[in-house]
Amino acid sequence: MANADLSIRRQVLRFTPQADRYDVAVLELDRTASYKDNIKPICLPQKDASFVGRVAYVAGWGALQAGWHRRKGIDIRIYDEMMCAGYELGQRDACQGDSGGPLMLNQFGVWYLVGIVSAGYSCAKQYQPGIYHRVSSSSDWISSNVYQQGANK
């Protein structure tokens, strides 16, 4: 099965009036998703986890250039505790349409969701990194909402 249509049973939003805070939600599906070799659950980082200086992988289905969309993924460097990520010289970044996409890091063979694409001032421009929600700041909230319905850990 290449594609699957899944419905959402429940959604929980983490909202604050500040537009740049807690760009995150938990969605409960109406049935169990099927996992495959290349589709697996991802781990949440500990609240005090730091990934500064590490290279992470961002995925999305947004713009690569004006008027052109396709699924993509690139490696970008995390360089700041504010969860900005990119390269000083630009050239690699998430772009329009990638919001909500994962920023993932492989640490000793285990994949972690370290960020969620949130915003940016431009796409892959010099000195304009992408802005990500730092998942470690919401790990406890996410876990409490995922497991409150008695789901398997």
Write the CATH number for 20.
2.40.10.10
Is there a domain that residue 56 lies in? yes
Domain range holding 87? 8-147
Would you say 69 and 63 are in contact if contact means Cβ atoms under 8 Å apart? yes
Is there a domain that residue 2 lies in? no
Each residue's pLDDT tens digit, 80-116? 445 777 777 777 777 776 778 899 999 999 999 999 8
Per-residue pLDDT of the chain (153 residues), as tens digits, is: 456 788 999 999 876 666 556 678 899 999 888 888 878 889 999 988 888 888 899 888 776 654 445 556 667 665 444 577 777 777 777 777 677 889 999 999 999 999 988 877 777 777 777 888 889 888 888 999 987 755 544
- Residue 53 lies inside a defined structural domain of this protein: yes
pTM: 0.76
Give a yes or no: residue 152 inside a domain: no
Q: Is residue 97 part of a domain?
A: yes
Q: What is the DSSP string of 70-108?
A: --EEEEEEB--TT-EES-TT-S----TT-TT-EEEEEET
Residue 48 lies in a domain: yes
Domain presence at residue 58: yes
Residue 23 located in a structural domain: yes
